[in-house]
Structure 1
Amino acid sequence: MISEKLKNNSFILYISVILIAIFRLLLTATIPLLDKTEARYAEIARIMQETNQWIVLQIDYDVPFWAKPPLSTWLSAASFLLFGINEFASRFPSFLLSILLIIIAGKMVKKSGASFYLPGFILLTMPEFLIHTGVVSTDTTLEFCVAIMMISFWQTIKSEVKTYWNYVFFIALGFGLLAKGPLIIVLTFPPLFIWCCLDVKRFRALFSKFSILLGILITAIIAIPWYYFAEQETPGFLDYFIVGEHYKRFVEPGWKGDLYGSGHSQPKGMIWAFMFVFGLPWIQIVFYKLWKTRKTIFKNSWISFLVLWMLWTPLFFTMSKNILHTYMLPITIPIMFLIVYWWEDFTNKKLIIRTALIFPAVVFLAYFGLFTTGKLDQYMNSDKYLLENIKIKSENKEIPLYYWKDKNYSGQFYSIGKAQILKNEVELDSVMDLNKKMFFVIPTKNEQDISKIHLDKMTLIQSNFKTSIFEIK
């Protein structure tokens, strides 16, 4: 009976989606928050929840974080209120948004006769989407808002009369401005405009089926208040966020104005390499099919809509050097819809399914390989286990914790904000002169910056591949 079911592609899709989703949920609860990006956003949310400051994001106590809007932070902070301060709570909103997208897409394709589980299978076997199904970042909220905007635009244009999708478009735009700022306009309006230009009748449909003035008002009511109050409480925010984050970051290689790190300088066009690696194996299939059907792409309104949606983001980021692979996350949705559209054309679906399952299987084996051998704490880019171990070994959990030169964000999070920084040996001398027991965290790469005289006064008690913790008495 089971062997017969396994011959059924729909059953394989169903089982795969359920198992991968459960496994991904397990990862959200058991993998420590990783430095630097994920732990940073989790710490910002923790500080928000602790201080009850919901307008100005803080990267440290009383240090404003101007780089991103608050939506993802609000969600994680609210999750902390429900589930407590832990990695699962910080990641759960991202996991939930990804699952909601899968459900929405599943219901859409089911109406056309495709399997409800096919979108979920495609997305959860695509590296970029699987990684971000449960990662603390602003990219998942952006992806969700972009997807809802594009889906609602399509549903509105193709309906005979005005529908609620018309208003969903503007609601998603408003929340998108709170997810990652004006970038959502840049990623959605140009492909929609170009698609309408392919047939001028679409412009008439746009003006007749969208309540534009009311919609703009809805968007403004959702988004503008936070921008106003954030500027009022921390003057200078709008200039840094709008000009710096949305212009200079993309046109200035290695942008020096970043207050919270450094630009992610990459060769121009690197976004395409990211797309072909983190979109495996589906993006390769999409481009193959597009080449085979290149003469009819723009004759099919749905295909042309998806192609423009998919290609615009990498085209926009082609000339930028300050990029990450996460910038391709919004295009995982049109990739999925294109595969669904062509699914029945594929003659060897089982081979495609097996190939797609390779990445989740590798992640599964890697996780349980590290977990069962007890090496998970050694190879994770996080200070969680080191700090947990010193708490276990210490009778007094209030023993001071110092970082050498820079705090890791995971150290901030797992010490509940109690970690402090010693920037030089003068400050190190001042705390050592107190003759009190304390813990001193040194990144392995910076250990040579401390004199042997000071190191001789310390006892190594914990270490992993990147960090060592010393005890000073």
Structure 2
Amino acid sequence: MPFKNYKNTSFYLTVSVLIIALFRLILTSVIPLLDKTESRYAEIARLMYETKEWVVLQIDYGVPFWAKPPLSTWLSALSFETFGVSEMAVRFPSFLLAIILIILLGKMAKKEGVSFYLPAFILLTMPEFLIHTGVVSTDSALSFSIALIMISFWKAMQNETKTFWKYLFFIGLGLGFLAKGPIILIVTVPPIFLWILLQKISIKTVYTKLPWFIGIMLTAVISIPWYILAEQKSPGFLDYFIVGEHFNRFLVPGWKGDLYGSGHSQPLGMIWLFLLAFTFPWIQIVLYKLWKGRKTIFKDAYVTYLVFWLFWTPLFFTISKNILHTYILPVTIPIALLMMYWWKNQEKKRTILWVSTIFPALVMATFFFGFLTGKLDFYMNSDKYLMENQAIDFNNKESLYYWKEKSYSGQFYSFGKAKTILNTQALDTVLESENKSFLIVSNRRKKEIPKEYQLQLKPLDSNYKSTLYLLKTWETSVTTQMNNIKNK
């Protein structure tokens, strides 16, 4: 029977991890960049790579992007420098960060006497972690930084003989400031502080365990120079980023000050539903174990530390309405560490392992179903195939336009050449051009185009959200030219 002994369990974990990781790596190449968030950050990285502007992030040519620090964009742009511009290149840094975390936790697992592949299996079967193992996002770099901070602090407090852990704590802080900003302090310092208080650890002990002077200098050297340069090159950045992104976004429901979209307003406490759904089934097991051992939880310093790490983030975001499910990505690490710690005595391992494969199995089944039925292109939230199927040649004076609002995937796959038509006057100008022109119209915006103009549009291709048109005036112009040539 599978999982009857350690050898069978270890084999199942190893094979499962390799299959899921390989499948996830393949997806980084075959799935187009998805609107809106992923393709936006991919386009920001592409602009950095193209313009060589490494300080001020841009959301369009000459338009600064103040909403996030540069770490994830730097990594993606450097990946472009290495591999060229592609989906896999822009996603590879987040995949690599996930693998580094998996290896780090794997080594910790071996020291605890469990399979090296156990934490990898736990993480890769949690929906949130699997999604971010190869997606263009600032949350991957943030989660990596948080894990580095929290693990290194624990190691430093345990008289770890290897001194690099003491410095990794401050390196993690520096990277966190570059990954998402001051929020790194909000999601790491409180759980550490609460743990210190509960364990009655003296300030002197904390002071002597870490190289505070050198460490703070290290954090400052890593992070502060970019903030200074960004404000100098793009005045107003600090006010928008610090006040707007770190206070107004979370404390003002439906915040209207977002320059790059709209607030993601959710019911209060929605973060807990995200936690239950996107870390299934492992959070349910953790909650059961904690409830079962509720009388002794705080007697174990390690479990207490991980519990504070796990629950602080959702607790903090409970009062916020502007949230995303990605905010719970960092807590996948303490969930995995808790399961590693309990695994030797865990009951019903076989059932747990089978149930945990539900999400990755569904993802694989959905992908192959879409691929085999030919529906994958149609249901992807991306405009890649609309352009690719028509082989739009931007180097041969062919133009691509969007009605009212261009998508970020359109910007990325057109290499920044897609333009926006805001009104019928601008559409008249394009219709008068003799160049071959295409127009992508969102299905929800089609009614905004007057009927007399719709007659000038020839539908070529569509997906579930948009339709690609050829401007008929170009066809008429070409036909007229051909007839004139024949008549001569």
TM-score range (shorter-chain normalised) is over 0.9
Equivalent residues of 2:397, 2:435 under 8 A apart: no
Q: Aligned pair 1:444/2:423, yes or no?
A: no
TM-score (norm. length: structure 1): 0.97
Alpha-carbon deviations, 1:426-464, whole Å to 9, x = none? 111121122432001100110010011111011111111
Which amino acid is 2:38 matched to?
E
Alignment-derived partner of residue 290 in structure 1: 290
Q: What pairs up with 1:327-338 in 2 under 5 angstroms? A: 327-338=327-338
Q: What pairs up with 1:77-88 in 2 under 5 angstroms? A: 77-88=77-88
Structure 1 residues 260, 332: CA separation in 2 closer, same or farther (over 3 Å shift)? same
Counterpart Cα distance in 1 of 2:368 and 2:82: 29
| SS, match of residue 403 in structure 1 | strand
Counterpart Cα distance in 2 of 1:141 and 1:6: 34
Counterpart Cα distance in 2 of 1:109 and 1:437: 60
Which amino acid is 2:61 matched to?
Y
Alignment-derived partner of residue 265 in structure 1: 265
Counterpart Cα distance in 1 of 2:5 and 2:87: 37
Alignment-derived partner of residue 42 in structure 1: 42
Alignment-derived partner of residue 20 in structure 2: 20
| SS, match of residue 8 in structure 1 | helix
Q: Aligned pair 1:373/2:373, yes or no?
A: yes
Q: Aligned pair 1:425/2:424, yes or no?
A: yes
Which amino acid is 1:142 matched to?
L
* Unpaired segments ≥5 residues, structure 1: none
Equivalent residues of 2:2, 2:8 under 8 A apart: no
Equivalent residues of 1:46, 1:77 under 8 A apart: yes
Q: What pairs up with 1:249-328 in 2 under 5 angstroms? A: 249-328=249-328
Q: Which one has a bigger Cα radius of gyration? A: 2
Overall identity of the aligned pairs, in %:
59
Aligned length: 472
Which amino acid is 1:154 matched to?
W
| SS, match of residue 318 in structure 1 | helix
Equivalent residues of 2:3, 2:9 under 8 A apart: no
Alpha-carbon deviations, 1:265-291, whole Å to 9, x = none? 000100000000001000000000000
Counterpart Cα distance in 1 of 2:397 and 2:299: 68
Structure 1 residues 171, 6: CA separation in 2 closer, same or farther (over 3 Å shift)? closer
Counterpart Cα distance in 1 of 2:80 and 2:425: 38
Counterpart Cα distance in 2 of 1:283 and 1:3: 22
Counterpart Cα distance in 2 of 1:397 and 1:304: 63
Counterpart Cα distance in 2 of 1:271 and 1:410: 28
Counterpart Cα distance in 2 of 1:6 and 1:206: 39
Structure 1 residues 123, 419: CA separation in 2 closer, same or farther (over 3 Å shift)? same
Alignment-derived partner of residue 200 in structure 1: 200
Counterpart Cα distance in 2 of 1:101 and 1:204: 31
Which amino acid is 1:412 matched to?
Q
**1:4 Cα deviation (Å)?**
9.3
| SS, match of residue 14 in structure 2 | helix
Alpha-carbon deviations, 1:60-110, whole Å to 9, x = none? 000000000000000000001111111000000000000100000000121
TM-score (norm. length: structure 2): 0.94
Equivalent residues of 1:24, 1:134 under 8 A apart: yes
Counterpart Cα distance in 2 of 1:199 and 1:147: 21
Equivalent residues of 1:161, 1:209 under 8 A apart: no
**1:5 Cα deviation (Å)?**
9.2
Q: Aligned pair 1:224/2:224, yes or no?
A: yes
Alpha-carbon deviations, 1:365-391, whole Å to 9, x = none? 000111122211000000011110111
Counterpart Cα distance in 1 of 2:341 and 2:167: 27
